[in-house]
A and B are shown apart, each in its own frame.
Chain A
Amino acid sequence: MNTLNVTPLSFTPPGKKDRGASVVNGVDLSVNFAGIKAPNPFWLASAPPTDKAYNVVRAYEAGWGGVVWKTLGEEPPAVNVSSRYSAHYGKNREVIGFNNIELITDRSLEINLKEITQVKKDWPDRALIVSIMVPCNEEAWAYILPLVEATGADGIELNLGCPHGMPERGMGAAVGQNPDLIEKVTYWCKKHYSKPVIVKLTPNITDIRVGAQAALRGGADAVSLINTINSITSIDLDNMVAKPTVGHQSTHGGYCGSAVKPIAMNMVAEIARDPATPTLPISGIGGISTWRDAAEFIALGAGSVQVCTAAMLNGFRIVEEMKDGLSRWMAEKGYDSIEAFSRKAIPQTTDWKHLDINFKTIAKIDQDLCIECGRCYIACEDTSHQSIAKLTEQDGARRYEVIEEECVGCNLCQITCPVENCITMVPQETGQPFLAWDNDPRNPFRVAS
């Protein structure tokens, strides 16, 4: 394939709807993320799908609001191995998690820069951010940044999180795991580059806030997270080797896909509610596959979201459903912009010790919906609080009833119930005031209120 062939770039088939429109279903989805404008918050993360012009143009044609171009590095380009991805499957072969051992771009810097320049020129309304990873010395950054600036791209993202291949060369996660280096590299970037600098954080650390704080100290305009998590997805038990298999061996990769979403959301929330980084823009990444996932990240503080695995598994067209779903939901809720609901869930996200110890909720089983599978019963009986009674009706039908006095409101029965809305958790009127553990008399370390 001729990678320099950029002729199809500006070709839009007649009759195709404008997939780049920022107003969808009457709702404005446009964002201004740390000074980077895009018609919608759905960006493709720096990864295989953004490796070259051909893919990026297809993404823009499909309607993605922005793209983070796959990480550029020093010459000579990285060399990749054959066999690169593996999956953690659900029982129905649905991909729960995804793992890759691919490195940064394996194409020449010159070709990448040329393509970036052309693509940005052809698609001025879309966000185009360039991911970069070069060795940890100022010269290396001072060399590449002006070249990237000359492309006209809207900003850069520092890949300080790649967990495989690059750390061995003193790059990627090797930098991202050291707050001093994050700060230093960010500082060099701000010094040698005039447009927004986004620092991509690695989750392979103990406290994500430290990295975000370091980025802010270095002058970062925003952070993006999470990069992939160190992982081994499965072992071929016949040959006793992990996947993906390269020859007779394997190595750990970077984990992403739906499975990492809860981890990513917590890290996003940690930074969003950290008093040290209260307004630092966050581009949320990690297992976003649907509009709902995106809305959740945004509610926790993300100003844009980046998608990779879902696109790799389904193709770029998924952005259509994402935009449609998000805009309909926003219209229904009366949110007229992304900004309008960004961080909306943050005030309610707190530390355990601030939770109301007097709050009580208990399970309620809707007998009309119950299919009598007994899953709630055995879950509670074996592993929780023995709060569900198993009864037999006169006609032999089973009946499961919550023993309210024993129920601690753990939600397990509701989680294990296969029928939606059959088990609901009902908050109880206790007549007791709000009491946080900080102030609870039973707390030996209580703060006198």
Chain B
Amino acid sequence: MTVTHSLNHLPSAKEVGTYDPPTLANNFSDLHPPLTHRQAMIESQRCLYCYDAPCVEACPSEIDIPSFIRQISEDNINGAAETILEANILGGSCARVCPTEILCERSCVRNHDAECQPVLIGLLQRHATDNMQFEGHPFKRAASTGRHIAVVGAGPAGLSCAHRLAMLGHQVTLFEAEQKPGGLNEYGIARYKMTDDFACKEVEFLLEIGGIDIQYGKRLGDNLELATLHQQYDSVFLGLGLGASRALGLTGEDAPGLMPAVDYIKTLRQTDDLGSLTVAKRCIVIGAGNTAIDMATQMARLGAIEVTLVYRRGVEAMSATDHEQKIAKANGVRMITWAQPDDILLDSQGRVAGMRFAKTHEQAGQLTATGETFEIAADAIFKAIGQGFDSASLSDATAAELARDGERIHVNEMLQTSLPNVYAGGDCIKPGQDLTVQAVQHGKLAAHAIHQALTAKQEAA
């Protein structure tokens, strides 16, 4: 049974037949093709090599952007790649998935009136990381510390943490619930943003540093307990992510035809045969984040005839960036704002037939229903209303002790949880911005915090 079993009654992309196989394949090829060498040289020249550069300040992982761009311009690709990777070992995937339009590129001084066009930092970063050629891994491990650290979750936070810990001389065991590493890079990002099995290749590269052992199929709260880890390892890092899809809270939420967008995307990312994917000819996506956009756009690119994205507030409140919204619109996705799910409409067989929405408006800062409703017919509804913390993962006695900020794990400025020697980062902690690049930074900083604590302990002993 696949995670998309809820759509089993729907036709496959092949059967819908909107696109022939080559077009279908093309629909999921690189959204932003890489720069050619020449384009990269020209673009790199545009960088002004700002002092105390605003782009660096805007980068959650603190990549020295002017420096790596200057290295590209001097035809020193390996140097550029190393500058990127020493700050962000997942620089290759960040180059693809970072919302640069709200981070480094938004702060580029070339956005000012004179040009209104930032340096294409993301594509330059990709150019460097795609074209680097190292003999062996570019980073060397420090002498062994004899310490062994458990990292839970092989997503961006966990991988970043593991790599940095290995670099600092520690031994790492990485526990991953799925059968493949990468986390959302592998399972959660739109297919056309991460082509050619890049997430997997990047992890292979990362693991070349050595000292990292991965155990797959190990899920905290299922076949893994924090108590054990806490006992057996010198330190623990939790990069659990947000494993639970939020519920709409309506009757019929388990009806065939309604499913979380992330589950569909996961299947889409793993399939070898796009044509075999089930496609709803008419579908509704609920939500306003990048996952909602990814879902809607991919459904349109698979051949859905009518894709409607519905959000309960206005466009300006959408967390998907303008750039992302434009992608959806360019793919024919219809966007309806100021409407919230009111009722799931079912056919005689109890399958999704559409949705009734209640129109909303804001009154004194409160979102309220206007009383007016409308219906949209659809074969499938995908909810992308955010991910929540999977509380099952922290169900053992030790884990239950962890202080929480709402549902997420509470950490201090050293990314340390309320339990000694237990650290956390990425989407599962409170200050999370739910960005890959932020998770990478958390993992890196936590590794340094762990290293510092262990070193201090050693000195004290």
Q: Please list the residues of chain A having a beta carbon within 8 angstroms of any beta carbon in chain B.
A: 91-93, 369, 371-375, 377-378, 390, 398, 418-420
Residues of A within 8 A of B110 (CB): 371
Given A91-B73, A419-B114, check contact A373 B50 (CB 8 Å). Answer: yes
B50 engages A374 (CB within 8 Å) = yes
Chain B residue at minimum C-beta to C-beta distance from A417: B48
In the complex, how many angstroms separate the beta carbon of B157 from the nearest chain A beta carbon? Answer: 27
A420 to B49: give the CA distance in the assembly, Å: 17
A398 to B113: give the CA distance in the assembly, Å: 16
Chain B residue at minimum C-beta to C-beta distance from A418: B48
B51 engages A375 (CB within 8 Å) = yes
B49 engages A375 (CB within 8 Å) = yes
A371 engages B51 (CB within 8 Å) = no
Given A92-B41, A419-B114, check contact A372 B54 (CB 8 Å). Answer: yes
A373 engages B48 (CB within 8 Å) = yes
Residues of B within 8 A of A419 (CB): 112, 114
A373 to B113: give the CA distance in the assembly, Å: 13
A371 engages B112 (CB within 8 Å) = yes
A91 engages B41 (CB within 8 Å) = yes
Residues of A within 8 A of B45 (CB): 91-92
B42 engages A374 (CB within 8 Å) = no
A218 to B52: give the CA distance in the assembly, Å: 61
A372 to B54: give the CA distance in the assembly, Å: 9
A91 to B73: give the CA distance in the assembly, Å: 7
Contact partner of A93 (CB less than 8 A), chosen from B41, B48, B50, is B41
A374 engages B51 (CB within 8 Å) = yes
Residues of B within 8 A of A91 (CB): 41, 44-45, 73-74
A369 to B52: give the CA distance in the assembly, Å: 19
Q: A92-B41, A371-B114, A372-B54 are in contact. List 16 more A-B contacts (CB 8 A).
A: A91-B74, A92-B42, A369-B114, A371-B110, A371-B112, A372-B50, A372-B109, A372-B112, A373-B53, A374-B50, A374-B53, A377-B51, A378-B51, A390-B52, A398-B52, A418-B48
A320 to B45: give the CA distance in the assembly, Å: 30
In the complex, how many angstroms separate the beta carbon of A96 from the nearest chain B beta carbon? Answer: 13
List the 6 shortest-distance A-B pairs measured between CB atoms, nearest first.
A374-B51, A378-B51, A371-B112, A371-B109, A373-B50, A373-B109
Chain A residue at minimum C-beta to C-beta distance from B70: A91
The prevalent SS among residues of B at the interface is loop
B68-101 near A? 1/0 per residue, CB < 8 Å:
0000011000000000000000000000000000
Contact partner of A373 (CB less than 8 A), chosen from B42, B44, B51, B73, is B51
Residues of B within 8 A of A373 (CB): 48, 50-51, 53, 109
Chain B residue at minimum C-beta to C-beta distance from A381: B51
30 A-B residue pairs with Cβ-Cβ distance under 8 Å, sorted by A, are A91-B41, A91-B44, A91-B74, A92-B41, A369-B113, A369-B114, A371-B110, A371-B112, A371-B114, A372-B50, A372-B109, A372-B112, A373-B48, A373-B50, A373-B51, A373-B109, A374-B50, A374-B51, A374-B52, A374-B53, A375-B48, A375-B49, A375-B50, A375-B51, A377-B51, A390-B52, A398-B54, A418-B48, A419-B112, A420-B114
Chain B residue at minimum C-beta to C-beta distance from A372: B109
Residues of B within 8 A of A374 (CB): 50-53
B93-127 near A? 1/0 per residue, CB < 8 Å:
00000000000000001101110000000000000
Residues of A within 8 A of B54 (CB): 372, 398
Residues of A within 8 A of B50 (CB): 372-375
In the complex, how many angstroms separate the beta carbon of B432 from the nearest chain A beta carbon? Answer: 22
In the complex, how many angstroms separate the beta carbon of A367 from the nearest chain B beta carbon? Answer: 12
A377 to B109: give the CA distance in the assembly, Å: 15
Residues of A within 8 A of B53 (CB): 373-374
Residues of A within 8 A of B114 (CB): 369, 371, 419-420
Residues of B within 8 A of A375 (CB): 48-51
Residues of A within 8 A of B73 (CB): 91
Residues of A within 8 A of B109 (CB): 371-373
In the complex, how many angstroms separate the beta carbon of B423 from the nearest chain A beta carbon? Answer: 30
Residues of B within 8 A of A377 (CB): 51
A375 to B44: give the CA distance in the assembly, Å: 17
Residues of A within 8 A of B41 (CB): 91-93
A369 to B115: give the CA distance in the assembly, Å: 11
Most B CB atoms within 10 A — which of A373, A374, A378, A419? A373
Chain A residue at minimum C-beta to C-beta distance from B110: A371
In the complex, how many angstroms separate the beta carbon of A93 from the nearest chain B beta carbon? Answer: 7
Chain B residue at minimum C-beta to C-beta distance from A376: B51
Interface residues of B in 5-57 (CB under 8 A from A): 41-42, 44-45, 48-54
